[in-house]
Amino acid sequence: RRRRSRSPRRAMTSASATGRWVTMRAARARAPASTPASAASVRTCARRRALVHFLTGAPALALVARDSDAARAEEDVKRAYDGYASTYDDLDGGSAAKALGLDAMRGDALRGASGDVLELAVGTGLNLASYDMSKINTFTAIDLSPGMLAQAKVRADELNFRRESSRFIEADATALPFEDASFDVVVDTFSLCVIENPVAALREVRRVLRPSGRAVLIEHSKSDVGPLGAYQDLTSKPVKSMSKGCVWNQDVEGLLRESGLKVVSVQRALLGLLVVVEAKP
């Protein structure tokens, strides 16, 4: 009997639905024309200028320029995300996201989190309702944007999060302000794809996890369906430019391995466009 292959038309239909969601996020999240350039573009330009300075005999000036531009880039990202924090739920928590099963995916992945839990790039707190606080000793959430954190705190109050065991901290995922082996679980949902150096962030995850701890990720991923993965590769650059640097064809498992984390389990959804991964130090 001939084995039936997956229908390219079905694959592209699902890709179209997810593509509309990604495009909607890009359009809704796009900042006004006066908004500064993205952190990625600013840092890329900074590196180019630094290289020119270095090759022309001015290494000290190159380092100063790089550090100065990186600092400005971080401030640009903060301002951009602060600007649409009040409407961000419409991007990742709206009807399109629900129709794609993202709410159920969050619940299935996060309700088992226990002990001391850290969530990276908490945003407005869309994940908070998925946690079972009876299993959690302490909950820590970080984000680069004060505006996002303010929204997350409001949601935490609405959900009756225990204030004495919860904290919301302004911090960078690539330089976590915590001691080694501080957490039992580290959660990342749809933030790795917009972090300029995802491996650096994952190495920080590995550092702050306890030896018996685990990382739980829900991320955009390159599909394992051939035509669909090829389509993602073809459209990756325009999607990234329109959606605040989102890399929707990233190799999540490869990034985890490069960081030193060990992949424990992988579950794919939406024809491989989304992936739920559990990893350990």
Q: How far apart are CA 249 and CA 230, in angstroms?
A: 9
Q: Round to the nearest angstrom and report the end-to-end CA distance of the chain.
A: 44
> Does pLDDT of 9 surpass 90?
no
Q: Say which residue, 66 or 137, is predicted with more confidence.
A: 137
pLDDT band for position 74 (cuts 50, 70, 90): low
- Give the model's pLDDT for residue 59: 31
Q: What single string gives the DSSP state of each residue in 87-111?
A: GTHHHHSSHHHHHTTHHHHHHHHHT
For the entire predicted model, the pTM comes to 0.72
The two structure tokens encoding residue 244:
């605040």
Max avg pLDDT among 1-5, 79-83, 186-190:
186-190
Q: How far apart are CA 95 and CA 92, in angstroms?
A: 9
- Give the model's pLDDT for residue 81: 54
Beta bridge partners of 64: none
pLDDT band for position 215 (cuts 50, 70, 90): very high
Distance of CA 243 to the CA centre of its chain: 12
Q: How far apart are CA 231 and CA 70, in angstroms?
A: 32
pLDDT in tens, 232-259: 999 999 998 887 678 999 999 999 999 9
